[in-house]
Amino acid sequence: MPIIGTQQSPIKIVKNKTWKIDVPEGYLYPNYSGNELAGHFDLESKNFVFEQFEHFVLDGQPWVVRKLHFHDLAEHRLVNDTYPAGHRADYEAHLLHTMGTSPDDDPDGTGPKLVLGTLFHRDAGAEQRKSAEKLNAKLRGVVDAPRAKMEQRRISAGVNPLDFLPKPEDWNFWYKYEGSLTTEPFSEDVSWYVFDRDTAVLESDFDNLAGGGAEQHSRTVYALDRRYILRSFA
Ligand SMILES: [Zn+2]
């Protein structure tokens, strides 16, 4: 039975109730190489699990990318300049990181976590996200396949983390708050960075990842309680 406390995720982010902080430009700069990192999609947990690792440094602290998954209909709700009446994006991708430059620094993933949350909307004019398209194609038909095929459970693939983030020009626009994992064990050890700018994506890059059965359940929103949401922009 999970312990659910007072710092759960996701939440509704209302821009005019967030706190602007002064951070240098490029403070959050997940500058992955752009190479496809090897790993596998686990059909049971519905996570892409990295087996090849890259990290980025935030305020002197390295964070290594460990997992990636999708939500069909975003988990975080946003009320911002683009969507003053509120908005729930078509998709949300979560890149989960643990502390250090290698998984050996936190093999069981029990330490602090950092998740980058990117909201996406379907747009027929979006640029193709190559590793997303390839992973999407591999998952086509597999998720709903008869049990025999499901039992493979792991689908090898390569993922370029940049395909699941906004374009670099949007990296300076984010919200930060302290929250939890949105799947079991719902541990309250996640620093969330949710990007403000909705990113365009081709439906054909994501339709099996999110919405095709490979997506994770989207959790309801939780109260902010005593927390503050920080934001990086005016
Ligand atoms: Zn998630």
The Cα–Cα gap between 194 and 26 comes to: 15
d(CA 72, CA 27): 29
pLDDT in tens, 182-191: 988 899 999 9
Q: Give the Å distance between the CA of 93 and the centre of ligand 1.
A: 7
Query: Would you say residue 211 lies in a domain?
Result: yes
Range of the domain at 117: 12-231
Residue 59 is predicted with a pLDDT of 95
**pLDDT confidence of residue 108:** 92
Residue 143 Cα to ligand 1 middle (Å)? 18
Residue 32 has pLDDT above 50, yes or no: yes
Ligand 1 mean position, distance from CA 75 (Å): 7
Least confident stretch, 15-19, 73-77, 142-146, 175-179:
142-146
> How many A from CA of 48 to the centre of ligand 1?
12
Query: Ligand 1 mean position to 198 CA, how many Å?
Result: 16
Q: Please tell me the distance between residue 25's alpha carbon and the centre of ligand 1 in angstroms.
A: 27
Q: String of b and e for 151-188 (b: at least 16 CB within 10 Å)?
A: eeeebebbbbbbbbbbeeeebbbbbbbbbbbbeeebbb
For the chain, the domain total comes to 1
Looking at the domain assignment, is residue 206 inside a domain? Answer: yes
Asked if the structure places residue 133 within a domain, the reply is: yes
Residue 44's pLDDT is 86
The dihedral through the CA atoms of 193, 199, 201, 203 has a sign that is: positive
CATH number of the domain that 58 lies in? Answer: 3.10.200.10
Span 78-95, pLDDT tens digits: 999 999 999 999 999 999
Predicted pLDDT at 1: 45
Measured in Å, residue 104 CA sits from the centre of ligand 1 at 23
For 154, the 3-state DSSP assignment is: strand
Q: What is the pLDDT of residues 115-160, one digit of tens each?
A: 999 999 999 999 999 999 999 999 887 776 666 455 668 899 999 9
Assigned token pair, 17: 């109730």
Q: Does residue 6 lie within any of the structural domains?
A: no
Is residue 210 domain-resident? yes
Query: For the chain, first and last CA: distance in Å?
Result: 41
State what percent of residues in the chain have pLDDT above 90. Answer: 83
Parallel, antiparallel or unpaired: strands 199-201 and 113-122 = parallel
**How many Å lie between the centroid of ligand 1 and the Cα of residue 191?**
13
Ligand 1 midpoint to CA 120 (Å): 14
* Residue 179 · residue 192 · CB < 8 Å: yes
In a domain, 5, yes or no: no
What is the arithmetic mean of pLDDT over 214-218?
86
Residue 151, pLDDT score: 63
Distance from residue 18's CA to the centre of ligand 1 (Å): 22
Residue 185 lies inside a defined structural domain of this protein: yes
54 within domain boundaries: yes
Report the percent of the chain where pLDDT is more than 70.
Answer: 95
